[in-house]
Amino acid sequence: MKWLFKTEPTDYSFHRLRRDGKTLWTGVKNAAALKHLREVKKGDEIAIYHTGSEKSVVGIARALADAKGDAVQIAPVKPVLPVSLASIKANPRFKDFALVRIGRLSVMPVPEGLWKSLTESD
């Protein structure tokens, strides 16, 4: 399965995840986002999206273990060239994607057919 996790880079950035080597992803409060977080399994890929002024997918991480409770341990895989929210919204393939439809959702599944477009800039 593939996921998108949103983070405010001033709180915890992908750069910091790379420096730390791994982290326990916590702090998700929204019920729908928590439901998604609890479904994360070891080996799942995660697009890391920076909110705030960046509003872009900036890296890929991987779940190191199945989620437990309201947390999952992740590690960085690689940075990607930023894929902006504006470019995602401009692509009609993403019209039904949660990032476009439900802006406040911080954890969401990424349909397999959208993963490449989400993690590779044109």
Q: For 45-97, write each residue's pLDDT tens digit.
A: 999 999 999 999 999 999 999 999 999 999 999 999 999 999 999 999 999 99
- The mean pLDDT of 8-26, rounded to a whole number, is 97
Give the rounded percent of residues in the chain with a pLDDT score beyond 90.
94
Contact status, residue 109 vs residue 68, Cβ threshold 8 Å: no
Domain 2-111 sits in CATH at 3.10.590.10
18 pLDDT more than 70: yes
pTM over 0.75: yes
Residue 115, both tokens = 């993963």
- Each residue's pLDDT tens digit, 20-54: 999 999 999 999 999 999 999 999 999 999 999 99
11 pLDDT more than 60: yes
Give the rounded percent of residues in the chain with a pLDDT score beyond 70.
98
Question: Strands 45-50, 2-7: parallel, antiparallel or unpaired by DSSP?
Answer: parallel
